[in-house]
Amino acid sequence: MKAVICDGFGGIDVLKVVDVEKPKPKPNQVLIKVIATSINRPDLVQREGKYPPPPGESEILGLEVAGIIEELGEDVKGWKVGDRVMSLVGGGGYAEYAVAYADHLIPIPESMSFEEAACVCESYITAYLNVFLLGELKDNNYAIFHGGGGGVNTAAIQITRALTKNVKIIVTAAPEKIEKVKELGADLVINFKETPDFSDIVKEYTNKKGVDVILDHVGAKYLMPNIKSLAYAGRLVIIGVISGIKAEINLGLVMVKRHKIIGSVLRSRPVEEKAEIIRAFRENVMPKFADRTIVPIIEKIIPIDNVKEAHRLMEEDKHFGKIVLKIQEP
């Protein structure tokens, strides 16, 4: 089968489209004919040699797939060959075929294309897990989503608007993305290039209350502004550390205001734990995709042979929503 491999670690030039052996499904797994996948920032980090796949997972890049079940492994129930499905995968998404656990599959609604479905699992499940299951966002809360314009943060805005009432969404974004973020549903957008410490603006906007939930992938640089922006019993969920991993923190403030600081990753969680998260997502969020309340935002669809272009587009950070990698026709 055709697949993308990393010929060493480094920049986009290490990406190679080659022929490799087709994988075989193990018990409780299925083989999927992959129609489309998407580019996620962890793919770039793995390409650079800083984010290895969990033990036993494919070394091929790609954390999600959308396609058609080609073969069932032993003990798989509730699915059949020919079903249209999307799934999280621990690796192997940039290929014509990939294996996935049956408990991680989500049926693709008739209203969705394969390209749209390829956008869902990594970004939208990550957003739902961290904003709702861990961050416990509720109606009438305030929330901050950092980095408006990326896949997870646009997903967080869309899911919040679909599942809650009267939540005030604050987003930090690059100046060229501010208007699009507003159109998507943000109530207040802060230009992070002009205002690296956003806490004073947040305090003013929330009448000194602060926010209930912060979704952060920036890390060290934003730690204290985040803490200063949290309301009493507020939750800071950290899902990335692009600005670094070390920072000082005022523990007294954390204690007095009863803050929760939650670190979270999705890829390395146990198979059973991922299955529970996916079941909750299927029940609570997928109906919003089926009726088109939520429509995945696609910046560009790029064929697998042009995978370097897809990674370059992600690196430039000028995209809005998801970059889809088209693998083959159905």
**Above pLDDT 70, what percent of the chain?**
100
Average pLDDT (252-266) is 96
Residue 37, CA distances (Å) to 66, 158, 229, 311 in order: 6, 20, 36, 13
Contact 153, 147 (CB under 8 A): yes
Provide DSSP, 252-292. HHHHHTT-EEEE--STTS-HHHHHHHHHHHHHHTHHHHHTT
pTM (two decimals)? 0.95
CATH code assigned at 167: 3.40.50.720
Quick: pLDDT tens for 169-210: 999 999 999 999 999 999 999 999 888 899 999 999 999 999
- What integer pLDDT is reported at residue 150 of this predicted model? 87
Range of the domain at 146: 124-263
Q: At what angle do helices 121-128 and 151-163 cross, to 10 degrees?
A: 50
Determine how β-strand 2-6 pairs with β-strand 15-19.
antiparallel
- What integer pLDDT is reported at residue 149 of this predicted model? 83
Any residues with CB less than 8 A from the CB of 64 and at least 6 apart, and which? 37, 38, 40, 86, 87, 88, 89, 93, 118, 120, 121, 122
**Does one domain contain both 219 and 273?**
no
Quick: pLDDT tens for 93-124: 999 999 999 999 999 999 999 999 999 999 99
Bridge partners of 37, per DSSP, are: 325
**Does one domain contain both 259 and 167?**
yes
**Does one domain contain both 8 and 103?**
yes
- What integer pLDDT is reported at residue 147 of this predicted model? 84
Quick: pLDDT tens for 278-327: 999 999 999 999 999 999 999 999 999 999 999 999 999 889 999 999 99
The residue out of 210, 236, 263 marking a domain boundary is 263
Give the Cβ contact number of residue 327 at 10 Å.
28
Residue 148 has pLDDT above 90, yes or no: no
The residue out of 263, 287, 302 marking a domain boundary is 263
How far apart are the C-alpha atoms of 124 and 160, rounded to whole Å? Answer: 11
- State the total domains in the chain: 2
How far apart are the C-alpha atoms of 268 and 273, rounded to whole Å? Answer: 10
The residue out of 241, 263, 285 marking a domain boundary is 263
Instruction: Indicate the average pLDDT of the chain.
Output: 96
Give the Cβ contact number of residue 68 at 10 Å.
17
CATH code assigned at 48: 3.90.180.10
**Does one domain contain both 88 and 200?**
no
- What integer pLDDT is reported at residue 66 of this predicted model? 98
